[in-house]
Amino acid sequence: MKAITVVPGKAGSASLEHFDEPAETEGSVLVETVAVGICGTDAEIASGAYGWAPEGHERLVLGHESIGRVLEAPTGSELSAGDYVVGIVRRPDPVPCYNCAAGEWDFCRNGRYTEHGIKSLDGFMRERYRAEPDALVKVDSGLGELGVLLEPTSVVAKAWEQAERVGSRATWHPKTAVITGAGPIGLLAALIGLQKGLEVHVFDQMEEGLKPDLVRELGGTYHTGPIEKAVEAPDVIIECTGVPSLVFDAIEHVGSGGVVCLTGVSPTGRNLAIDAGLVNRSMVLANEAVVGSVNANRRHYEAAAAALAAAERSWLAKLVTRKVPIDDFADALEHQPQDVKVVLQVATG
């Protein structure tokens, strides 16, 4: 079968390979991959920035944002042939630590977790894979291929959960939310915020085009420029860019008792001149909180599945701006200015 593989740490090594069929020992459920979403992580691994091949192997199959169809499932499981499923990216460490043992592998304590398409587990950019039922999440049949958005939605489902948990340390009735970044993560964060009944403001650089249109169609308010000039003291900010200046803009301008949840990974080696004492003083005196959030566990995948099932299909479909055949994978990895979410088409939906 076909697969897109890389040699981790080696730039320019991504290639379309003939790959062995998945062994039955890899899982009792056989899944046909329909499509795989492309994100910055895939491009960074393909550039040689990081990535880890499975033990004893030189190459790693790319891809962690998947949607597939069940071909075979064991009798008695909740899955049947034809079901649409998404593979959970992170798997528990083998010890396991107490978080992994509790099903919260997103909070793995010892770093020995594995991740499909990233760390020591082959990913989903292959025509078929196997997994156990507990490593798969069933998708509403009406979503079909749009289930490829579930993994990024799980990331922001967790971010919202973290913000709410921190906010509930006191009596908390949030009304206003700011989302920084109108990429897929930011737009999906806005979707969930609006589903929660909040007034949602999304900030990005694009003056016009698809991103502002998607925010407005969703029911949010779109802005460019600094937060403080558009929204006064938001209750919660979900930071989705990792841009250092925006991170500190969010921390500086969240409202009293508010929560900032950071989901973007910042590049290193960039220095900013900030008044650290002022930031600390503001956070302490206003009971503000900042929390980092990465990855997701099964609970977040299920919350994401519910959020997508409740969303307008026509709006979700507009997030997918390019579908690229697997044979042209290199084009999918090259970001274009108009891209929101690029999808690698592995099979016919």
Residues of the chain with pLDDT under 50: none
Flag whether 298 is in a domain.
Answer: no
Residue 93 sits in the same domain as residue 122: yes
- Shared domain for 215 and 91, answered yes or no, is no
The domain tally of the chain equals: 2
52 pairs with which residues across the strands?
119
Model pLDDT for residues 96-147, shown as the tens digit of each residue:
999 999 999 999 999 999 999 999 999 999 999 999 999 999 999 999 999 9
- Predicted TM-score (pTM) of this structure: 0.95
Same-domain check for residues 87 and 15? yes
The tokens 């491009």 sit on which residue? 43
C-alpha 152/C-alpha 137 separation (Å) is 14
- Per the structure block, which two tokens stand in for 339? 């891209």
- Tell me what the pLDDT averaged over the chain comes to: 95
Residue-level pLDDT at 264: 87
Residues 219 and 174 in one domain: yes
The closest alpha carbon to 89, from 56, 127, 62, belongs to: 62
* 309 assigned to some structural domain: no
Q: For residue 169, what pLDDT is reported?
A: 95
CATH number for position 108: 3.90.180.10
Q: Which residues span the domain enclosing 123?
A: 2-138+319-345
Same domain for 253 and 126: no
> CA distances (Å), 154 to each of 229, 300, 308, in order?
31, 5, 10
Residues 164 and 238 placed together within one structural domain of the fold: yes
Give a yes or no: residue 297 inside a domain. no
pLDDT of residue 245: 86
Q: Residue 264 maps to which CATH number?
A: 3.40.50.720
Q: Are residues 126 and 245 in the same domain?
A: no
